[in-house]
Amino acid sequence: MSELLELPWSEARDQVSPREYVEASLRAIEAGNGALNAFLHVHGEAVPGVLPIAVKDNIVTTDMPSTCGSRILRDFRSPFDATVVTRLRARGATIVGKTNMDEFAMGSSNEHSAFGPARNPWDTERVTGGSSGGSAAAVAARMVPAALGSETGGSVRQPAALCGVVGLKPTYGRVSRYGLVAFASGLDQIGIVTKTVRDCAEVLGVIAGHDPLDSTSSREPAGDYTAGLDSGVKGLRFGVVREALEQLEGEVRANFDAAVEVLRRGGAVIDEVSVPAIGYAIAIYYIVANAEASANLSRFDGIRYGHRSERARTLADVYSESRGEGFGPEVKRRIMLGTFALSSGYYDAYYGRAQRVRARLRHEMTEALRGVDALITPTTPEPAFRIGEKTSDPLSMYLSDIFTAPANLVGIPAIAVPSGFSTTGLPLSLQFMGRHFGEQSLFRAAGFYEGETGYWKRRPPFVAG
């Protein structure tokens, strides 16, 4: 493994030529991907750039397939690049590969990829988290210094937490979704995985900003997200969400309490805040997200692009056989749940009610954030679990998003930063959630915590090379 890839991008880029940097990344991928399955496609002839970066396989590129981790798009190549890819390339970045993911971003463990699960470099018998598990594993294993993922209910922060790296979900609309294959359009947002907070802030500075190709893209000006990173937390106020911690116990609770003390010793003020509706977040999320997914995935019909069944004899066969063969069980489950929630006679009872409670959650979180600079919770309720441990219990898997889904439902930014390790040596993580377009304050808080603890420097047992 090249020592170069141990360094944050903000340090390594000035030490070698772009060619040496990209070649080091490609060597690490070649050495480690067989064991981790973090990459689905690797661009071995990529033009060298100042930042070798990986992107999740639901972010389209012209020079590599974009499969979304699904058989239905096994050989699909996009005729255009996603806006984030265009912006990265314009700043000299090299897309070295496309990372593994739960099929169509539907999952919390990366076990629902049609091409096999990505494996956690802290313990290869455990999950990476999902759906951006390949991106998190690639950064944690020092294959790339940074990677893009996508968030619908925590799919960047949750795998970042389980793999011991930094994961950011920006404000909804802060980063263009043009070229991101939709799961739930009202929740989806492209996010960033890096080793350090500064690297994350620098990558956001490259990809953030209005995009006329995305109707949901905000015109709010993007700033210098690295400004104030070294300002500390003295005088900042953080809100501990009472309802989020009521059932939390054991080492995750102890780790969270220790993290709070680090912030308090740094001069921060810690308040307790109440967000009663946060307990409904998972129920809201899985109704709203699946309803939107059932509509978005109707475009995969075996006619315009993607897999078409050879068994089809009629138009109805083309739809049913192509989708039946192409989609995996988790995608089918969510399409069915979403279609049911939108069906005649059930729309108001499920989808309509979920949207009303979502509005209540948005109001309560907005009110809670008025008096503090950020809300803090653990990122996940437990460290990485074993591969296969929860596949027969979807509800237990869905609860992995209990701390992350609220930020997606409300559209606010949130960042996960390593906060220590379990008794079995697995990463634990602290989450900061901020006001709309308050990414700079989150970077300041997370940057202080990272500097005080230095957990990002600890290498996982499996490092590529």
Cis peptide before 419 (omega within 30 of 0): no
CA atoms of 186 and 207, how far apart (whole Å): 20
CA atoms of 293 and 186, how far apart (whole Å): 10
419 noted as active-site residue: no
- Please give the pLDDT value at position 75: 87
CA atoms of 453 and 445, how far apart (whole Å): 13
What is the location of CATH 3.90.1300.10 in the chain?
Answer: 3-275+375-457
Place of tokens 């006001």: 435
Residue tagged active-site, from 70, 135, 155, 429: 155
Q: Encoding tokens for residue 120?
A: 């956690």
CATH architecture, domain 3-275+375-457:
Alpha-Beta Complex (3.90)
Q: 3-state DSSP: the chain helix, strand, coil percent, rounded to 5?
A: 40, 15, 45
Residue tagged active-site, from 25, 113, 131, 132: 131
* Prediction pTM value: 0.96
3-state DSSP call for residue 428?
A: strand
How far out from the chain centre does Cα 33 lie? Answer: 20
Q: What is the pLDDT along the chain (465 residues), one digit of tens a residue?
A: 468 899 999 999 888 899 999 999 999 999 999 999 999 999 987 778 789 999 999 999 999 999 999 999 998 999 999 999 999 999 999 999 999 999 999 999 999 999 999 999 999 999 999 999 999 999 999 999 999 999 999 999 999 999 999 999 999 999 999 999 999 999 999 999 999 999 999 999 999 999 999 999 999 999 899 999 999 999 999 999 999 998 788 999 999 999 999 999 999 999 999 999 999 999 999 999 999 999 999 999 888 888 988 898 999 999 899 899 999 999 999 999 999 999 988 899 999 999 999 999 999 999 999 999 999 999 999 999 999 999 888 888 888 899 999 999 999 999 999 999 999 999 999 999 999 999 999 999 999 999 999 999 999 999 876
Using CB atoms within 10 Å of the CB of residue 427, give its burial: 0 to 12 exposed, 13 to 18 middle, 19+ buried. Answer: buried
- Please give the pLDDT value at position 1: 46
Amino acid letter for position 417:
V
- Nearest CA to 196 out of 463, 454, 460 is that of 454
Through-space distance between the first and last CA atoms of the chain, rounded to whole angstroms: 4
- Please give the pLDDT value at position 465: 62
Give the CA distances from residue 16 to residues 12, 46, 429, in Å, rounded to whole numbers and listed in that order. Answer: 7, 17, 32
Residue tagged active-site, from 56, 169, 195, 390: 56
131 noted as active-site residue: yes
- Please give the pLDDT value at position 183: 96
User: Cβ contacts of residue 360 below 8 Å, gap of 6+?
Assistant: 277
Could you tell me which residues are beta bridge partners of residue 242?
A: none
